[in-house]
Structure 1
């Protein structure tokens, strides 16, 4: 069986970070850090998580290292606040996740044998047992944080429904649903009297259907849209660069000329590949 203590990391820098955080929150520490609460920090935590994702997407290992440090600092910050409130500390946070990961990987830390295809089912079964032990509610959505970014929330909700059989078994009806939702958007846009609320609702339904399509294709919708945004940005930077080279203003150009440069940007991408 795997020995958890086969190698002990040097915690010198982690202890240093914990001491820095404690100093920042001390009476003679930093005024900004001292006034922060868990609630006030959440937006920074979300931003740091996205900055980690951006650094990974840029394939810049040094940027990833820096951003992971920023994200770690957020965890240390929350832990220090909780410690001051007599709730928990960083040690108990680390202990809890160690216990959870050990418990949820009996095929690694125990004697359980499981095929790779059954790993997710095992994981969910262990999670369900954990919830029952703490008296959690019975809704399948209890494990879905409502504050997730919209694409992540949609994908999590759909995944939970799929686990209890409320899902299509083939991709064809999923694609049909996407087309249906787009048709409904078009119908609302072309209605005699435009209702912005109904258009918003139909666009939301279409986005939800697209997330479902992504899920059925084993694609993370958030990652796919992020990559599409980066690709669009790179192509438009190509257009900006060409306009600068030709001493032209984009706002003075017609759409046809811009579209031609857009096609040039796409061609340049293919040549680079």
Structure 2
């Protein structure tokens, strides 16, 4: 029993005619007759009672089979459509990981446009830092991530998409607010609000500080990059934050640019080396993100 045979049976019932069913299905009438005979043989019951001439009627089994086969055909057609859309990348489920501030400040508007264009693609997002997202990718829990470059390794493919510009955010009456541009050496003697030890930018900051010989910073660790601005507003210290977070500047605070290697950090797409480029629906999302994130970068 196949889908074509079920459709033929339904056409016969719909038009009460083998001849009309054959015409609608673009078959010769003998093909329609053979299909119904084969169907009845497979089911072991008679579905149609033929009368004199072209007259026929459904048996009780035929009526039951017709009623229940309507949903079967509908489900099979939907499955075929879904599989076709899947192959075209028009449907599917994509699991992505994202770091802040990309997750909160860049993605919502981009994903709104993507999901309007591809309403049948479902997206799940997980927020974490780059090391955690890297582990999740290797375990197969995520398809790809938007984050900073991972530690060196051959298991990953990383494609830079945009640069996040960082600025120094501080209370407007802070002594460093008197300078237009800051350098890492300027932070000596001032409390610096920093992210957790697993944050790639924190590690970059520490490396720069070691290069300048500034190893005695007064620091206060704040676990969330997006929370830093609120601690600055409270006057607890200064923080190096992505410009996209700092602007618009809150009342009582101000920002200063930083020169040197602290001024930006590269973010991009991270996935298994064996999974690049993403396929099907993932490829649609990858191309869309690549286009729209690069418009905000470099």
TM-score by length of 1: 0.18
The structure carrying a bigger helix percent of its residues is 1
Query: Higher relative contact order by CA 8 Å / sep ≥ 6: 1 or 2?
Result: 2
Q: How does the TM-score come out when normalised to structure 2?
A: 0.17
Larger fraction in strand: 2
